[in-house]
A and B are shown apart, each in its own frame.
Chain A
Amino acid sequence: DSGVTQTPKHLITATGQRVTLRCSPRSGDLSVYWYQQSLDQGLQFLIQYYNGEERAKGNILERFSAQQFPDLHSELNLSSLELGDSALYFCASSESTGANYGYTFGSGTRLTVV
């Protein structure tokens, strides 16, 4: 157990729907990162939050949004889902934002859009 908790582990939904993925960071970690892992694109950085504030944005679609709450858990919202959104979504956390801090990853949420 890495200490980063992601729920749900699996999610199957239809095109056009909206889902919410949840992440609880490791105790003491203030920074949360979301990544999308697909076979063709590999691991793509989506977005980062630090202590409730957005800090960096990557290849995140406008249909996707995220937030980090006062208790530091984070949610990734995916709307108007398309077949191509099927992927593994990982959350990672780190103690701070410095480049020398490694990430601790959760076990991921596998999203299947049908």
Chain B
Amino acid sequence: AQSVTQLDSQVPVFEEAPVELRCNYSSSVSVYLFWYVQYPNQGLQLLLKYLSGSTLVESINGFEAEFNKSQTSFHLRKPSVHISDTAEYFCAVRNSGNTPLVFGKGTRLSVIA
């Protein structure tokens, strides 16, 4: 069965510093990869996704993630974080076909002023 590992449960970072949230998935022939963000007391919102094509995908608020097939990774990065980026971030993977999204356990990003 597919699985997702988010290596860091908590990541504190100072405002305007860069950040990387790590995500590894178990290998599969073809996968679709997603990052979701959950702000306090809210549901999950799609941040970005990789379906095919360019291995680097970007979100509208400055996050990017790179699909690395050889390392089975899909790490999320932002060059300069803001206080408003404080949230929990979930990596998720889905195989082709009708398999449901499998989520990692999440990484809590805390941006410090």
Q: In the complex the two chains form, is B94's CB within 8 Å of A99's CB?
A: yes
Q: Which residues of B contact A107 (CB under 8 A)?
A: 41-43
Interface string of B79-105 (1 = CB under 8 A from A): 000000000001000111111111111
- A102's partner among B46, B100, B105 (CB-CB below 8 A) is B46
- The residue of chain B having its C-beta at the shortest distance from the C-beta of A42 within the complex is B105
Instruction: Look across to chain A and name the residue whose beta carbon is closest to the beta carbon of B51.
Output: A100
Q: Is the CB of B106 within 8 A of A42?
A: yes
Which residues does chain A contribute within 8 Å of B96, judged by CB atoms?
99
Tell me whether A108 and B104 are in contact in the complex, defined as CB-CB below 8 angstroms, given that A99-B32, A99-B96, A100-B51 are known contacts. no
Contacts of B68 in A (CB 8 A): none
Query: By the criterion of a CB under 8 Å from any partner CB, how many residues of chain B are at the interface?
Result: 25
Q: Is B45 an interface position by the 8 A CB rule?
A: yes
A58 touches B103 (CB 8 A): no
Instruction: Say whether, besides A97-B98, A99-B94, A105 and B32 are in contact (CB < 8 Å).
Output: no
* Interchain CB contact under 8 A, B32 and A100: yes
Q: Which residues of B contact A102 (CB under 8 A)?
A: 34, 46, 49
Beyond A2-B45, A45-B100, A102-B46, 12 additional pairs, beta carbon < 8 A: A33-B101, A43-B44, A43-B103, A56-B99, A58-B100, A97-B98, A99-B32, A102-B34, A103-B46, A105-B43, A107-B41, A107-B43
State the A residues within 8 Å of B (CB). Answer: 2, 4, 33, 35, 42-43, 45, 48, 55-56, 58, 90, 92, 97-100, 102-108
